[in-house]
Amino acid sequence: MQKRKLGNSDLEVSAIGLGCMGMNFSYGKPADKKEMIALLRSAVERGVTFFDTAEVYGPFTNEELVGEALAPLRKQVVIATKFGFKLDPNGGPRWIGLDSRPEHIKQVAEGSLKRLRTDVIDLFYQHRVDPEVPIEDVAGTIKDLIKEGKVKHFGLSEASVQTIRRAHAVQPVTALQSEYSLWWRQPELEILPALEELGIGFVPYSPLGRGFLTGKINENTKFEPSDFRSVLPRFTPEAIKANHSLIDLINSIAEKKKATTAQIALSWLLAQKPWIVPIPGTTKLHRLEENIGAATVEFSKEELLEVEDASSKIKIQGSRYPDSLEKLTER
């Protein structure tokens, strides 16, 4: 697997990482734990070195899974996790608010270190910007944790350009993790130019549009109530049907390049900037191998212009989040 550096930092990771959330959180019934441990270790065998999790996934169970699976391989991998949500004190499965107070960040760091079975967090993201806590205080807290040797790199997620600049002035931001794919291209307007200017890497989550860009979802697809997509505006039957023209476009490119739709979606992202590292998630070995294969698919400048021209004529239907969740982004 090819390697990439996240921005101007010394953090080098595989060109394609692995988002671990869906293994036991947010996408219906959790997968078998032993199978997921085997999958995580298989990913390392195949050259994946970048793994993404968070305290809130579960809560806690996803970090525990990643920690158990990767403990024997710890020196070979980079593990990213996140802080910033206020969890239900009664142990409920959902977060109840935001909390990036310095004392809470430090508390989360200690818990994550234990669950991940490690003595240092390679990349520690603020999961969502907390409007009640100045971003300078957040960045300063991470700076302290880096001095203490508990964290190596600072990351932000779904932050605005203004917030990124303010944080970066206190503690250099290694990576921003936000949604980016062929069907969510908002970061191209302001985020990508700012990251390039500041030397910050970009880690797109949902690079396959939560499964939509694989071409395996249609208007007849049924989602379990425990599947997060069941409440997303873009996954109503009407929106899925309306947006299928994007799949038709990707399919046409895939046929020409003898690749799958998922590989085209991922390789298109890789072609945008050399400091972009997508983190598709999966629970299946053959999908993992398919995703890894995207790193070998290349686009010429002419091909990229053709995709740009064709995709610009497609108007995507439906919001990516319900209003209550969309408010947590771009702060």
Q: What are phi and psi of 106, to 5 degrees?
A: -65, -35
What does the alpha-carbon distance between residue 131 and residue 135 come to, in Å, rounded to a whole number? Answer: 8
Amino acid identity for residue 101 in this structure = R
3 contact partners, CB below 8 Å, separation of at least 6: 12, 13, 14, 15, 49
**Residue of 27, 57, 125, 205 marked catalytic:** 57
Do residues 161 and 191 lie in contact, with contact meaning Cβ atoms separated by under 8 Å? yes
Residue 27 known to be catalytic: no
Residues tagged active-site: 57
